[in-house]
Amino acid sequence: MKKILAFMMVLVLALGTLAGCGTDTEQSGEAKKIVKYNIGADPKTLDPALNTGVQSSGILANCYEGLMRLDENNKAIPGIAESYKLSDDNTTYTFKLRDAQWSDGEPVKAQDFEYSWKRALDPKTAAEYAYQLYYIKNGNEFNANKASMDDVAVKALDDKTLEVTLMAPTPYFLELTAFPTYFPVRKDIVEKNPDAWSITPENVPFNGPFKMVEWTRGDSVEVVKNDTYYDKDRVKLDGIEYTMITEATTAFQAFQSGEIDGTDEVPEPQIPQLKESNDPNFKIHPYLGTYYYSLNITKEPVNNPKVREALSLAIDRNLITTVVVKAGQKPAKTFVPEGILGSDGKDFVEGSKDYGITPEAQVEKAQKLLAEAGYPNGEGFPETTVYYNTNENHKAIAEAVQEMWKKNLNIDIKLQNQEWKVFQETRTQGHFQIARNGWIGDYTDPMTFLDMFISTSGNNHSHWKNPEFDKLITDIKKTEDLEKRNEMLHKAQDMIMDDNIMIPVYYYTNPELLKENIKGVKVSPLGQVFFDNAYIEE
């Protein structure tokens, strides 16, 4: 009898585990192939033009599709555009759209793309990512109120033909068309309810592999397979439930208990054990990004460049990467991270000059700079606060940096956490002195890390305005000489780093937990997690 009872308990536990592995059973008894995936925080918005969050861009990338998609090497392949022609001067693209439908059955038209791109550039929209469309002729001018919307060189020639003229040849433009800011939205939907359309997904048509059906704020976003998607037979999942468990420890416990199937929020203390045990559910993916602190140069005391440099040099980056985060991250010595090749075929970081940042803290030099700034031994240093979004990993890093600044510079720094949507607004509006930040590349070119610091960029959280830098970025985008372009890109990074407008801490990796029976999920080094080819192994 004891053996029978023991066997029954094991069977119950096994069945319970299987129930949590990517399936959800309806009352009818029919098993649905659902993956429950945690993204950590409630999105600020699910409007493709206004979104700036990496996790929420993953939701958008599964529910919308641009002219192009990205393959496993992050190279452009046909999406809604089945083909294109490029002019002899490499500036004018003519895209031919395939027969595709929105989830409400309406055809996807070239006019949808023209409307969406011009809407993102419209200064009234106030899209932080508007500068991603400055490659289009007169895009920058329209966004700066120096040209009209009609001057923007994107035009639907007919329902299936879109013509786009760039201000200069852009080798990665096709990859850009797969980025959320370039996704199409429907004019009739947006203008019918401009304030609420993006927060009521049940009323919104989608053109991607999945469609959103419900957004429960602060809890979950539910998406289901889009049966009108042109390549629906490729999609094996019935849906995805995106959860918003903020604390990594809580997410880890939910994963362990089978409540969720995957999470990109892994508690740092658990990582060494997961690595040592070779847990088949755990992987560390490449991540093309840099973890850093934004310094608002309009606020005291970080308006002083010597203070900014002192704060940077007083940080022991090696200690943070080996003791605090522990997922194979490397101490950052540049803003552009390792993993991006320059036009010379070398890693861009290898060709960068020495900015004087070392893995270990440079205490004496940092103290000398702080004294020269008027705060010898930290005396008289103004009250200063570091803001970070609520997350135990960010908290641990902030506490480590706080301790380093106390020990090495004798200054007391306060810490303040904020919920993600509030925190994003705090950074954008400049209501901070120091704020946690991180940037993941939108495409594999150094420019994706550099043009965010132009004066008109909504992602320029340092609120640094440098006309010379703005002109340099514009000139780079017009330059066809690849060798000269590479030199100019390095000069742009020099200007950012030499002025110490931000503090690079480490180059990211992407630790993830995902049930091993869920196959075909693509985790991009650009941050998005794609489920269009995913399936669940029995």
Q: Are 504 and 292 in contact (CB under 8 A)?
A: yes
Tell me how far apart the alpha carbons of residues 81 and 505 are, in angstroms, rounded to a whole number: 40
Amino acid letter for position 284: I
Q: What is the pLDDT of residues 208-222, one digit of tens each?
A: 999 999 999 999 999
Strands 384-389 and 413-418: what pairing? parallel
- Residue 265 pLDDT class (50, 70, 90 cuts): confident
Q: What is the pLDDT of residues 304-360, one digit of tens each?
A: 999 999 999 999 999 999 999 999 999 999 999 999 988 888 999 999 999 999 999
- According to DSSP, residue 320 is labeled I
DSSP element (H, E) containing 94: strand 92-97
Q: Which of 414, 411, 412 is nearest to 375 (CA)?
A: 411
**Choices 3.40.190.10, 2.60.120.10, 1.10.1060.10, 3.40.1170.10: CATH for 18-64+191-281+515-538:** 3.40.190.10
Q: What is the mean pLDDT of residues 285-293?
A: 96
Q: Are 131 and 451 in contact (CB under 8 A)?
A: yes
Domain boundaries, the chain: 18-64+191-281+515-538, 65-184, 285-510
Cα 454 to chain centroid distance, Å, stands at: 18
31-35, 59-63, 140-144: least confident range: 31-35
36 pLDDT exceeds 60? yes
Amino acid letter for position 217: R
Q: Are 500 and 309 in contact (CB under 8 A)?
A: yes
120 pLDDT exceeds 80? yes
- Topology, domain 65-184: Dipeptide-binding Protein; domain 1 (3.90.76)
Q: Which of 409, 343, 422 is nearest to 377 (CA)?
A: 409
Q: Same fold for the domain at 18-64+191-281+515-538 and the one at 285-510?
A: no
User: What's the predicted TM-score (pTM) here?
Assistant: 0.88
- Topology, domain 285-510: Dipeptide-binding Protein; domain 3 (3.10.105)
Confidence at residue 23, expressed as pLDDT on a 0 to 100 scale: 54
Confidence at residue 195, expressed as pLDDT on a 0 to 100 scale: 86
Q: What is the pLDDT of residues 442-485, one digit of tens each?
A: 989 999 999 999 999 989 999 999 999 999 999 999 888 889 99
